[in-house]
Amino acid sequence: MGVKISIQAAHEQVNPSDLLQDVVYMDQKGIERCWTSDHYMPWWNTGASGGAAWPWLGAALARTNKITIGTGVTAPILRYHPAIVAQVFATLGFMFPNRIFLGVGRGEALNEVTSGNQWPSNLEKYERLKEAVYLIKKLWNEDWVNFQGKYYWVKDSKLYTKPKTPIPLYIAGLGKHSAMLAGEFGDGFVTNELNIDSIRNSLFPALKEGAKKAGKDFDSLEKILFIPTSYDPDDKQKAIESIRFWRGAMINAFFDVDVHDPRKIEENGQVIGDDTLENMLLVITNGQDAIAKLQKYVNLGFTEIVLTNSSPDRNELVKLIADEIALFFRN
């Protein structure tokens, strides 16, 4: 079985109308999956956008025919109550069966604090996510639900409109606790950790341990990697300039600590130079460069690689993926 090469439509960098045109083109080109970010605030201030993911999902699914679309990722811990997440995605699953998935994670301060919440400890975020996943699945699969947890509760709750087919649920993270949670309760694990040693020695062993706890086969779990990508066939410098937007998101500490102002994130992100961007992310001028850089992650065992499209001309990357990169890894 081959490896999927998918695309992330990033609301932080591109306005929702243009992203809608992007996903229509992805569908026309035969891209299998589109992941979309679910943010309240962006990872950068200058030139940023801030569309809401949920209305965009409905529009994107209605405007396309085959492509599967979901979030990468939704944080059902503070600004979204898990019951509402369950309802929204159940509705999408009813309207567009077999074409929707849900990615969840512990969130970032830039989305949760700015929407009116106190930023909790890492332990509390983990506990909230675990409880949220349990409640979402319970509402999808059961009739009347009563639940009293540490952080959430519902009384005499029922989703009258349920998904017509099961909705894949993926759990994202950068650390072993989230990976273990994904193995135990998710259909797969999502990460943007690009360090080979961390993946091999920490994340995947934790994922395997979680799967074992649940009596699941580690090999059956989807393992999904996100990589910001910029492609220009004629000018690498243009590709580098376009991907500079993601410098703030490369500072892993910002996923944990209360740094929530995109202006502050942008200020701190200036320390990341172009050489680092080119070495760590996917900055390419041809398909063979992309294939060579992605192969090491495929060799680790990832089943899907999601390229966050930050190219000067985003359609050019979609075409390159469809015509060359995805074909190579599909076989």
Active site residue 124: no
Residue 190 near residue 74 (C-beta atoms within 8 A): no
Residues 6+ apart with CB under 8 A from 273: none
String of b and e for 284-316 (b: at least 16 CB within 10 Å)?
bbebeebbebbeebbeeebbbbbbbbbbbebee
Reference 18, options 320, 318, 323; nearest CA is 318
Catalytic member of 11, 32, 81, 108: 108
Reference 246, options 89, 14, 73; nearest CA is 14
Residue 207 near residue 179 (C-beta atoms within 8 A): yes
Q: What is the DSSP letter of 254?
A: G
Reference 329, options 309, 303, 310, 311; nearest CA is 303
Token representation of residue 142 = 């059961």
Active site residue 39: yes
| DSSP structure string for 118-175 | ----HHHHHHHHHHHHHHHHHHHH-SSEEEE-SS-EEEEE--SS--SSPPPEEEE-SS
Q: What is the distance between the alpha carbons of residues 8 and 67, in angstroms, rounded to a whole number? A: 12
Between the two ends of the chain, the Cα-to-Cα distance in Å is 7
Catalytic member of 11, 39, 177, 260: 39
Residue 105 near residue 122 (C-beta atoms within 8 A): no
Residues with active-site annotation: 39, 108
